[in-house]
Amino acid sequence: MSGSLTIRMAGPSDAAQVLEFIRGLAEYERLADEVVATEEAIERTLFGPSPAAEILIAEWDGRGAAFALFFSTYSTFLAKPGIWLEDLFVMPAFRGRGIGRALLSHLANLTIERDCGRLEWAVLDWNEPAIGFYRRLGAEAQDEWTTWRLTGERLDDLAKPPG
């Protein structure tokens, strides 16, 4: 399929498009009922005075095709920043055109330009298409690490002073 691909940084006017990507990703990951994000929250947290992350948007012939949401990390062992790719999603109608690879290539270039030590992300263990894709790119699974999470009431409990 021929077409024109452009990749750009998202801005405040992209909040509705970003929310559409988030909902599409959540549906793909079978987590649609967990999305509570709104355009207003996206504008405030991603495009406000202290953005929590950055977003690349891929457009195919001027239409929103995919996004990559990422933020800075830090490696104490390397004494260098890194980039964590939180979400990468290509809308179903645009798959098979090399857009996901182009987004990751763009992000790899940003990682190098920013003198970061690594680019990392997580993938659901059942997502074989993504796992195969990442392996073909030369990425390596970090199987010795397990991600842990605190949310909601348990996070609140831990935040309380002991005693």
Q: State the Cα–Cα distance between residues 6 and 65, nearest whole angstrom.
A: 10
Active-site position among 26, 134, 148, 151: 134
Measure the CA–CA gap between 43 and 104, rounded to whole angstroms.
Answer: 24
Q: How far apart are CA 25 and CA 19, in angstroms?
A: 10
As to burial, measured by CB atoms within 10 angstroms (0-12 exposed, 13-18 middle, 19+ buried), residue 57 is buried
For 45, phi then psi, to 5°, come to -85, -25
Contact 84, 107 (CB under 8 A): no
How far apart, in whole angstroms, are the C-alpha atoms of residue 7 and residue 28?
A: 22
Element (H, E) at 11: none
134 classed as catalytic = yes
Q: Which residues are catalytic?
A: 134
